[in-house]
């Protein structure tokens, strides 16, 4: 232990702690920009500088280790002047357009610049504009990049993709797509983790709000909105409603306040996915097909598999992801009504995800009624629309989803967190195999977390030993896939979600600087499941009604036509 004094407060800090760690123990807040614990500790922005007693040079608190007897000051006149000068240097090449920037209000640079009263700006007018494909779901504005390298570190170390690289000589250091490639041809999974870890507006998602507003204003269009499981755990964050008040019912009312004609629930379609995928899995385990079968509902994972592990692509489930299933089903059910009214159906998915914007445009994910989904909004875009339309979210009444695609079970809700798809599938697969409902603890997957490379268990169901595994985050995924490839691990069914923690930690979720909220949001979904009177997808009465009315039975010809696709194509 080291005895360390920060601003006169003495603490005992473990050997190897940084000044930033010690300050945290002392309850002293030191601003940071580029720092991400254990991921990006390069001390490049110099915003966290402090004065160490007996040392001439100021030290970066994020990567300077403490020693026994150290005394540091975090806000002396010299520190404040240096911090301010460092921020002004960053601002000199940053195209500040805070009134219109997507990150206004959640920008860490804005907070730090305000906090040190940065005003003495010598602007460099030669902003480094960069050509960018504006149709791509991931957008970059190089003039707002502050060269903190957080995206480079997050993408390489947490997500294994290494899409970004440091470029140029030290004096003109920048970030670019690796090898100077075009983003569309880079191996980007579109998980959006670089966006949620960017401190400014340099990295954003393509904005599709105008397209949705145009559909809402068009009298020839019937607008259908569906909302992903993970949205109900986070939508309040961007409109200032505390988590406990940002209920599912208020979320429904908020969507209605935006003017959508039908408000449906992707959770319903998650139950539908389970009906198809659990039956697909049962057929799989009874066959000689190679193991394991992989879930395929996360398009970030599907892209990653195609780019880095093509040998496993043929083992992806053919079941479409829930929001695609809901879009295809809604269009099939509503086609007659729309025809009679001389209108067309426009399906909008509100998702915690950037890759879903890509998925909606995949040609195979359409039927003769057109694309399953016409537009995807992130949680941040949903919140932005609520602010635009001045919806008073805190005062909204509790609303109910519309029939017939609105009723869901707790199993469907669990899809939004790591392990949830597996747990929901096992609950129903065990029932289909044995005719009895399994104990919830048999299928429990709450041990899966963003931090663990993967979790696994073996279930004894109907005399079969079923080996399952779950991973989230693409570096974790790579460890698991390498073990499968090497033969050191072997499973029957594997769930992969690209974002750490699953969709609750998705790249389209509200951004809170340096806070990883996936576990907190997952707890909301676990509580909704626990409180639900329906907890098995196959017990959803509206799912049964949909099979009676339209689909026949799981894996039927009609189900194959609307609800399945071949990802290997
Ligand atoms: Fe997800 Fe989904 S659970 S991928 O994370 O499967 O985006 O929340 O909507 O489609 O249901 C995202 C979240 C979904 C889909 C569902 C799946
Ligand atoms: Fe999208 Fe969820 Fe996959 Fe992340 S984990 S890429 S949010 S589907």
In the reported structure, the alpha carbon of residue 322 is separated from the centroid of ligand 1 by a whole-number distance in angstroms of 7
The number of the ligand nearest the C-alpha atom of 421 reads 1
pLDDT of 473 above 80: yes
Mutate to test the pocket of ligand 1, among 205, 232, 264, 297 (most ligand atoms within 8 A of CB): 297
Distance CA 36, CA 197 (A): 9
**Cα distance between residue 352 and residue 521, in whole Å:** 12
Q: Is 117 left (phi over 0), alpha (psi -120 to 50) or beta?
A: left
415 Cα to the center of ligand 1, angstroms: 6
**Residue 106: what are its φ and ψ, rounded to 5°?**
-120, 15
What tokens were used for 179?
Answer: 């090898």
Cβ neighbours around 311 below 10 Å, total: 12
Written as six digits, the tokens of 488 are: 């050191």
pLDDT score, position 172 = 78
Q: Which ligand is nearest to the CA of 350?
A: 1
- % of the chain residues with pLDDT over 70: 99
Task: Give the pLDDT band of residue 569 (cuts 50, 70, 90).
Answer: low
Q: Check pLDDT > 80 for residue 559.
A: yes
Pairing mode of beta strands 455-461, 366-367: unpaired
Interatomic CA distance for residues 249 and 232, integer angstroms: 9
> Can you point out the beta strands (E) in 201-248?
203-205, 221-227
Instruction: Looking at the CA of residue 270, tell me the nearest atom of ligand 1.
Output: 11
Report the nearest atom of ligand 1 relative to the CA of 295: 6
Does position 121 have pLDDT exceeding 90, yes or no?
no
Name which of 414, 428, 421 is nearest 529 in CA terms: 414
Rounded distance from Cα 48 to ligand 2 centre (Å): 33
Tell me the mean pLDDT in the region 433-458.
94
Residue 282 has a pLDDT of 94
The Cα 288–Cα 522 span in angstroms is: 36
| pLDDT band at residue 491 under the 50/70/90 scheme | very high
The preferred substitution site among 188, 499, 507, 510 for testing ligand 2, maximizing ligand atoms within 8 Å of CB, is 499
Measured CA to CA in angstroms, residue 508 lies from 194, 204, 256, 355, 421 at distances of: 11, 9, 21, 9, 20
The residue contributing the CA closest to ligand 2 atom 8 is: 298
Instruction: Assign 3-class secondary structure to 105-142.
Output: CCCHHHHHHHHCCCCCCCCCCCCCCCCCCCCCCEEECH
Interface confidence, given as ipTM, is: 0.92
**Residue of the CA atom closest to atom 4 of ligand 1:** 298
CA–CA distance, 50 with 66 (Å, rounded to integer): 12
192-241 tens-digit pLDDT: 999 999 999 999 999 999 999 999 999 999 999 999 999 999 999 999 99
Give me the sign of the Cα torsion angle 260, 262, 267, 272.
negative
3-state secondary structure at position 551: helix
As a whole number of angstroms, the distance between CA 507 and CA 498 comes to 10
Please give the distance, rounded to the nearest whole angstrom, from the Cα atom of residue 540 to the centre of ligand 2.
Answer: 25
> Other CB atoms closer than 10 Å to residue 354's CB: what's the count?
33
Here the tokens at position 412 are: 């469907």
| CB contact set of 333 (below 8 Å; sequence gap of 6+) | 404, 405, 550
Q: What is the dihedral of CA 529, 353, 499, 228, to 10 degrees?
A: 10
pLDDT in tens, 161-179: 999 999 987 777 899 999 9
* Integer angstrom CA distances of residue 96 from 101, 138, 143, 319, 510: 8, 20, 9, 45, 21
R_g of the chain, CA atoms, integer Å: 25
What is the token pair recorded at 305? 């598999």
- Residue 97 backbone phi and psi in degrees, to 5: -135, 60
Is residue 469 classed as helix, strand or coil in its secondary structure?
strand
For ligand 2, the distance from its centroid to the CA atom of residue 278, given in whole angstroms, is 21
Set out the domains of the chain in order of their start, with CATH numbers: 2-91 (3.10.20.740), 93-120+133-205 (3.30.70.20), 210-563 (3.40.50.1780)
Q: Which atom of ligand 2 is nearest to the CA of 300?
A: 6
- Mutation probe of ligand 1 site: the residue of 299, 329, 503, 525 with most atoms within 8 A of C-beta: 503
**Among 100, 125, 98, 93, which residue's Cα sits nearest to residue 111?**
98
Find out whether the beta carbon of 323 lies less than 6 Å from any atom of ligand 1.
yes
- Mean pLDDT score, 547-551: 96
Select from 203, 246, 196 the least CA-distant residue to 386: 246
Distance from Cα 349 to the centre of ligand 1, integer Å: 10
Tokens of 531: 């409180």
**pLDDT tens column, 48-88:** 999 999 999 999 999 999 999 999 999 999 999 999 999 99
Other beta carbons within 10 angstroms of residue 523's beta carbon come to: 15
Written as six digits, the tokens of 167 are: 């470029």
Atom from ligand 2 closest to the CA of residue 502: 5
Q: Whose CA is nearest to atom 5 of ligand 1?
A: 503
The distance between the two most distant Cα atoms of the chain, rounded to a whole number of Å, is 82
Task: Name the band, by pLDDT with cuts 50, 70 and 90, for residue 127.
Answer: confident
pLDDT of residue 324 exceeding 80: yes
Closest residue to atom 15 of ligand 1, CA basis: 322
* Of 390 and 169, the one with more pLDDT: 390
Query: Can you tell me the mean pLDDT for 367-390?
Result: 95
pLDDT at 568 over 70: no
- With cut-offs at 50, 70 and 90, classify the pLDDT of residue 31: very high
Q: Which-ligand-closest: CA of 205?
A: 2
CA–centroid distance, residue 298 to ligand 1 (Å): 7
Please list every protein residue whose CB sits less than 6 Å from any atom of ligand 2: 191, 298, 300-301, 352-353, 355-356, 497-499, 502-503, 506-507
Neighbouring-strand partners of residue 40:
36
Sequence-distant (6+) residues with CB within 8 A of 545 are: 404
* 298 Cβ below 6 A of ligand 1: yes
Using 50, 70 and 90 to split pLDDT, how confident is the model at 128?
confident
How many A from CA of 321 to the centre of ligand 1? 7
Cα 502 to ligand 1 centre (Å): 9
**Beta pairing class for 2-6 and 71-73:** parallel
């Amino acid at each position: 232990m080291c005895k360390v004094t920060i601003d006169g407060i003495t603490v005992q800090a473990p050997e190897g702690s940084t000044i930033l760690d010690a300050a945290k123990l002392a309850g002293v807040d030191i601003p940071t920009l580029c720092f991400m614990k254990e991921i990006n500790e390069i001390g490049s922005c110099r915003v966290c500088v402090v004065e160490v007693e007996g040392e001439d040079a100021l030290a970066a608190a994020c990567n300077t280790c403490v020693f026994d007897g150290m005394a540091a000051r975090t806000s002396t006149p010299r520190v404040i002047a240096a911090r301010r000068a460092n921020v002004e240097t960053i601002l000199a090449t940053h195209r500040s357009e805070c009134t219109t920037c997507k990150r206004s209000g959640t920008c860490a640079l804005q907070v730090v610049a305000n906090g040190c009263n940065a005003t003495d700006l010598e602007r460099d007018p030669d902003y480094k504009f960069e050509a960018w494909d504006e149709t791509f779901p991931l957008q970059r504005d190089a003039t707002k990049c502050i060269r903190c390298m957080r995206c480079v570190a997050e993408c390489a170390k947490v997500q294994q993709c290494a899409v970004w690289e440091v470029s140029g000589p030290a004096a003109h250091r920048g970030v670019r797509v690796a090898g100077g490639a075009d983003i569309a041809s880079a191996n980007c999974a579109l998980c959006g983790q670089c966006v949620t870890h960017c401190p400014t507006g340099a990295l954003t998602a393509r904005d599709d709000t105008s397209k949705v507003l145009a559909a809402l204003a068009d009298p020839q269009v019937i607008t259908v909105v569906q909302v992903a499981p993970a949205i109900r755990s986070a939508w309040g964050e961007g409109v200032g409603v505390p988590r406990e008040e940002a209920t599912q019912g208020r979320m429904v009312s908020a969507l209605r306040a935006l003017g959508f004609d039908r408000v449906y629930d992707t959770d319903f379609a998650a139950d539908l996915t389970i009906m198809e995928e659990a039956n697909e899995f049962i057929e799989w385990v009874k066959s000689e097909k190679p193991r394991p079968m992989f879930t395929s509902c996360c398009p970030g994972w599907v892209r990653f598999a195609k780019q880095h592990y093509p040998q496993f692509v043929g083992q992806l489930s053919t079941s479409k992801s829930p929001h695609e299933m809901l879009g295809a089903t809604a269009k099939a059910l509503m086609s007659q009504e729309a025809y009679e009214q001389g209108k067309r159906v426009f399906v909008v998915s509100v998702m915690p995800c950037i890759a879903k914007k890509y998925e909606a445009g995949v040609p195979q994910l359409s039927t003769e009624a057109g694309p399953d989904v016409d537009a995807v909004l992130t949680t941040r875009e949903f919140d932005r629309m609520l602010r635009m339309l001045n919806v008073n979210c805190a005062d909204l009444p509790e609303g109910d989803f519309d029939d017939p695609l609105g009723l869901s079970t707790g199993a469907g809700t669990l899809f939004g967190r790591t392990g949830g798809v597996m747990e929901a599938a096992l609950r129903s697969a065990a029932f289909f195999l044995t005719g009895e409902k399994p104990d919830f603890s048999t299928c429990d997957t709450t041990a899966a977390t963003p931090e663990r490379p993967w979790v696994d268990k073996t279930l004894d169901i109907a005399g079969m030993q079923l080996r399952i595994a779950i991973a989230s985050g693409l570096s974790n995924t790579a460890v698991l896939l390498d073990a499968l490839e090497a033969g050191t691990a072997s499973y029957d069914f594997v769930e992969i979600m690209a974002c750490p923690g699953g969709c609750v930690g998705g790249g389209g979720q509200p951004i809170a600087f340096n806070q990883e909220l996936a576990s907190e949001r997952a707890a909301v979904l676990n509580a909704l499941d626990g409180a639900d009177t329906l907890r098995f997808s196959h017990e959803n009465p509206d799912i049964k009604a949909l099979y009676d009315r339209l689909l026949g039975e799981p894996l039927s010809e009609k189900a194959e036509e609307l609800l399945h696709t071949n990802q290997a194509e």
